[in-house]
Structure 1
Amino acid sequence: MREVFQQELRDVQDRLVEIAGLVAEAIDNATTAFNESNVALAESVIADDSKIDAAANELDELAIEILARQNPVARDLRIVVSALRISASLERMGDIARHIAQLARYRFPEKVVPKSLRPTFKSMGELDVQIARKLTELLSTQDVDIAEHIRNEDDKVDELHLSVFDQVLAETWSGGASDTVDATLASRYHERFADHAVSIAKKVQYLATGDWTPAED
């Protein structure tokens, strides 16, 4: 029975890695659609979000079944409970990728943000993609150095997020009301995506080291 239980725990980890991979693909395609006004790619992100939702639901069902049948304790219990929380964050990251894609679809054939902000959003998108890929690697390896890298990249996203607000609130801002709303919404989506990754990274770091740093989100 113990061997079966350990296999189930490995299955939980494998499923988390799989979902993280789907999320990384989603944010990569969503930010590309956003920056290039690619409506076909945006539509694919929106449609594929259901795959992330289904995978997260299946993982949750497996974790709940393990809790009911195996009655895990100590570190095993923390692994299963953390998996449920990580799954929820990954599902939310998929939703955020979908939101970014929806903005691209709504504004097609125009681009979502004015020309002055496009380099900023390109950088934010690239950082989110890097973070998502590192998160997949972290869930696979539990290498705590990767968790630190994710936090450092999140700081860069935060700085870019603040710079967007500085621009739209400046007296020199010439965008209309819809430009302002789109830019602030999109910036918030990019920022929250990275925040969820940091939250997951802290949970993985705790499981690997026993050292807990409270999440800031």
Structure 2
Amino acid sequence: MSSLFERLKSDAAADWQAYVRHPFVLGLGDGTLPKASFQHYLVQDYLFLIEFARAYAIGVYKAPNPQEMRKASEGMHSILNETNLHLKLCAEWGLSREAVEKTKEARATVAYTRFVQEAGLRGDMLDLVVALSPCVVGYAEIGTALAASGTGLDGENPYTAWIREYEGEGFQSVARASLEQIDRLAALSLTEARYPRLLEIFRQATRLEADFWQMGLTIAD
């Protein structure tokens, strides 16, 4: 049986490619992304991750068994640890944690994070992890692709630290664990009648990811 994630990704292929090959991502890979765009994105991504940690907290409550409770708890802690890179880079630009945390959330940040939280609140844990998967698994895919691009880690790219974060084994293992969790939950509750709703959740989350890149590229509020 193929994985649920791969089926969702295949059925939303156009949206997925628009996300993982967005001009913002390509600019990270070749180092041409304007610094102001990256800085705006990174501050918003910190705020984004705080809200994603809350989504994992919803997962603890929604979990069907202790194994999935532990997995959701680990995800929450992993995300909070991920914010250390953001704060380190922001500090290099003279932005303190306090300044970052006082920044207003952009509309793209609010739209995406609240969509994911609502998916978990209205549905079950499978709905939630499907909504989370474009971020968790997508960033791992993007990190791997940019690291192999020839310019991502060439020593001249100003975004090498970001790329290393997501192509590194630490984050890659998080993504693999997420894929395994999706299939565990699918084995418990996936039906063909339910699949179209999961696909719509996945497709919408993927589009919101692309919108988040665009927010960084245009420095939209």
Shorter chain as denominator, the TM-score bin is: 0.3 to 0.5
Higher helix share: 1
Normalised TM-score (structure 2)? 0.38
Choose 1 or 2 for highest CA Rg. 1
